Structure 1
């Protein structure tokens, strides 16, 4: 295995198809890679590279510890996991938004500028998969919240009095509306990012940078 051999971590699920598409456009032959297979590691013949398929939330860990040289991961996961990796490029797919949402019957009063008065939510409970993101958002507003970590069905929490509000990612807002929740504050927008292990980025700079620049041209 050469010093330029690359291990590329890609996320399972909805981001995998787009990830494989842009890699193919960048000249990485990955037609054999499929989530339908039980395999999780795919050597790329003749490319001095391999692809590993991981849970999205695990990719920053694989990259931080050098099990993967580079990886594709949502900015939402990157912020929440807070790993020591180098963020190289916004790949511009997998768009979603972080929002604060509440039951429509409990929304805060509006301020003169039309935004909701979030101050009434100080010290309230927030259900979320993204406790770090939620706490940081309210901390920047001089507020504290009580995070309740959930791994799914976040929208249920306010309906059964587990929490007063949620912080979650949305794309169209359909799920919020179906559960009678209203967005009361945007937090940030997120897309898929290319990240690198910091040591690998120095040691394999030419190889990683060449791929990064090809991807940059593709996503322009």
Structure 2
């Protein structure tokens, strides 16, 4: 049986139409089914699983799946760190065009030449391995790559000098409020295969069908030449009198808007999706970023305080125990359980029973899938798993169990998604809520009084939330 990994997201609809044209029907794929394992009809037995794009190269490299389709930029990002992995690039499909641009805020830099020899250039990106390749090729001295989960376009110019982002073209980049300095990669949706599967499995009918679309060859990175080696010392950081707060986008935004309203704090433009909403207090600046990135940015000193989730804070602290960031206030909103999840038909009601069952079946290594790699690792070590492997995911994690992992560490709220994917929770790691984090010592620094005043206002929303719990 051929195992095929398909992407979720914007590629679903055009890719479903293309697959149907070549005689491969995947039920519910183009319609955005919430299921991750989809029935498929082709010339031979086929198993289809839907992943986030960035997870597909990992699954192909591990040999869990034989063929996969995802953006070329995610393939290059993975191979940039693991060049020896068993991934074969077969070619690009006529859809999903996207480029990787090295970009900056308007007026920040005229061209790459302006960066020649400049020390301490900060590059923010979802593609940290490719950002590293760019910086090394350009010979940037003492550069810093800041990996983020998303919204990399929000960081220049205050919190980054450059960003490496994916966009369809320069017009789409301009809509992000960025100007291009260098096109690092031009690609589209790419077909990739596991090397051993190409050698040992009969996949001729599917490969021929995909090839009939006219697979594009070539691709690859377009690295810049070395810039001039004259050394430009970094300018001293400008003194900052303002307090900077990070607000979350995504599913946490609704809960934070409610807390801000009850606290009497309205950040103009926040509800409308602006990245830099106007603060209601003098000398306070706000920026909207991904909550997963907030602990790192507070620890680096980019923000004085941030509104994120306890799950994001613990993920950061388990990885960096001495990080100078801490929780200052629990807002008590957006609550969910961080749970250990297994297949619904597993004959176990507790973790101890699950471990005993896997041992009795000769399972030598327990595979744990999770977006929260450090939390999953801490959980396995603290529960004394005998041997385990954490499989990092970028989301859509419910589909990993049972074929690609025995255990899932996942946030659960109503349990509906678990039930839809034939899963059940057998343990709760902790209860996560929306919280306010600060840099250690933030309330005692030169901006401490303003930080304390802002925390006092935010606490009004927390008290109101607690009264309803």
- TM-score with structure 1 length normalisation? 0.86
1:131 to 2:357 alignment: no
User: Are the counterparts in 2 of residues 98 and 188 from structure 1 also a CA contact under 8 Å?
Assistant: yes
1:102 to 2:337 alignment: no
How is 1:155-170 mapped onto 2 (pairs within 5 angstroms)? 155-159=398-402, 161-170=403-412
Partner residue of 1:90?
A: 330
The 1:127–1:89 alpha-carbon spacing in structure 2 relative to 1, beyond 3 Å, is same
Question: Which 4+ residue blocks in structure 1 deviate beyond 4 angstroms?
Answer: 1-4
Partner residue of 1:154?
A: 397
Please identify the structure whose Cα radius of gyration is greater.
Answer: 2
Q: Distance in 2 between matches of 1:88 and 1:124?
A: 36
Over the aligned positions, Cα root-mean-square deviation in angstroms equals 2.4
Q: Which 10-residue stretch deviates more, 165-174 or 116-125?
A: 116-125
* Equivalent residue pairs, number: 213
Q: Which 10-residue stretch deviates more, 20-29 or 64-73?
A: 20-29
Q: Distance in 2 between matches of 1:130 and 1:184?
A: 18
1:79 to 2:293 alignment: no
Structure 1 position 46, deviation (Å): 5.5
User: Are the counterparts in 1 of residues 367 and 388 from structure 2 also a CA contact under 8 Å?
Assistant: yes
User: Are the counterparts in 1 of residues 257 and 271 from structure 2 also a CA contact under 8 Å?
Assistant: no
Partner residue of 2:260?
A: 23
**Residue in structure 2 matching 1:69, options 304, 307, 332:** 304
Deviations 1:42-101 (A, max 9, x none): 343662111100011111122111111110010111111224302101110111111111
**Residue in structure 2 matching 1:52, options 283, 287, 296:** 287
Structure 1 position 106, deviation (Å): 2.1
Q: Which has the higher contact order (CA 8 A, sep 6+)?
A: 1
The 1:107–1:11 alpha-carbon spacing in structure 2 relative to 1, beyond 3 Å, is farther
Structure 1 position 157, deviation (Å): 0.7
**Residue in structure 2 matching 1:140, options 375, 382, 386:** 382
The 1:45–1:101 alpha-carbon spacing in structure 2 relative to 1, beyond 3 Å, is closer
Partner residue of 2:94?
A: none
- Gaps (5+ residues) in structure 2? 1-237, 318-322, 360-364, 464-469
The 1:62–1:115 alpha-carbon spacing in structure 2 relative to 1, beyond 3 Å, is closer
- Gaps (5+ residues) in structure 1? none
The 1:95–1:217 alpha-carbon spacing in structure 2 relative to 1, beyond 3 Å, is same
Deviations 1:100-141 (A, max 9, x none): 111122243x5xxx7752433573101111121112122222
Structure 1 position 164, deviation (Å): 1.1
1:117 to 2:348 alignment: no
- TM-score with structure 2 length normalisation? 0.42
Q: Which 10-residue stretch deviates more, 88-97 or 137-146?
A: 137-146
Partner residue of 1:200?
A: 442
1:36 to 2:273 alignment: yes
Match of 2:345, SS state, is helix
Q: Distance in 1 between matches of 2:240 and 2:441?
A: 12
Q: Distance in 1 between matches of 2:377 and 2:257?
A: 34
User: Are the counterparts in 2 of residues 10 and 53 from structure 1 also a CA contact under 8 Å?
Assistant: yes
**Residue in structure 1 matching 2:246, options 3, 6, 9:** 9
User: Are the counterparts in 2 of residues 116 and 185 from structure 1 also a CA contact under 8 Å?
Assistant: no
The 1:185–1:36 alpha-carbon spacing in structure 2 relative to 1, beyond 3 Å, is same
